[in-house]
């Protein structure tokens, strides 16, 4: 099963996604995509690690190249988050671009029991962007559309409240 969870910053989307994944059969894999750049990034990653400690996740850090990831076939995987993965694939010297994001997500979906993908809602801040930022936002929006079309479930979380936009029949 493939689930896409979208929401704004601090909307509660990550907490919702973690609860959803932990309600599914294990093992539970937390696929962390934020590459810790500098002290601030390292502190943020460490904060998230402490928050997950003892919750039942095995953390796998992967910043680019999901196509070679080895996962237990019965795993329930939480990918946190698609925005980081997309930025990494677009701007990291070894990144493969938008097509690599979509093919990597297809690969992970095919190689685990459940994949839940968390991502940030884009463009609510308005269209006043240009250059690489606009390219990133447009790419992430296109990936959202493609992933939503493939997904069994699409959920938007606002103020901690999930709103299901798409739900495949069981």
The whole-model pTM stands at 0.92
Average pLDDT over residues 78-99: 94
- Exposed, middle or buried: residue 138 (CB in 10 Å: 0-12, 13-18, 19+)? middle
pLDDT (tens digit, 9 = 90+) per residue, 39-54?
A: 887 888 788 888 777 8
User: In 3D, which of 117, 59, 63 has the Cα closest to residue 87?
Assistant: 63
What are the domain boundaries of the chain?
A: 2-167
**Superfamily of 2-167 according to CATH:** P-loop containing nucleotide triphosphate hydrolases (3.40.50.300)
Q: What percent of the chain has pLDDT over 70?
A: 98
DSSP string, 112-160: SSEEEEEEE--STT-S---HHHHHHHHHHHHHHHHHHHH-SEEEEEETT
Average pLDDT over residues 114-126: 86
pLDDT at 3: 98
pLDDT at 55: 85
How far apart CA 162 and CA 170 sit, in angstroms, is 19
Band (pLDDT 50/70/90 cuts) for residue 125 is low
């Amino acid at each position: 099963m493939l689930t896409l969870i979208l929401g704004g910053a601090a909307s509660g989307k990550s907490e919702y996604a973690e609860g959803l994944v932990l309600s599914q059969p294990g093992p539970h894999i937390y696929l962390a995509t934020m590459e810790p750049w500098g002290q601030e990034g390292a502190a943020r990653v460490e904060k998230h690690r402490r928050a997950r400690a003892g919750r039942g996740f095995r953390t796998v850090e992967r910043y680019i190249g999901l196509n070679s990831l080895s996962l237990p076939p019965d795993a329930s995987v939480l990918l946190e988050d698609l925005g980081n993965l997309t930025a990494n694939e677009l701007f990291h010297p070894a990144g493969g671009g938008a097509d690599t994001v979509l093919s990597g997500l297809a690969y992970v979906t095919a190689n685990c029991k459940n994949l839940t993908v968390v991502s940030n809602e884009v463009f609510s801040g308005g269209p006043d962007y240009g250059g690489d930022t606009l390219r990133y936002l447009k790419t992430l929006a296109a990936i959202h559309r493609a992933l939503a079309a493939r997904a069994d479930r699409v959920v938007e979380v606002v103020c901690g409240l999930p709103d299901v936009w798409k739900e495949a029949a069981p």
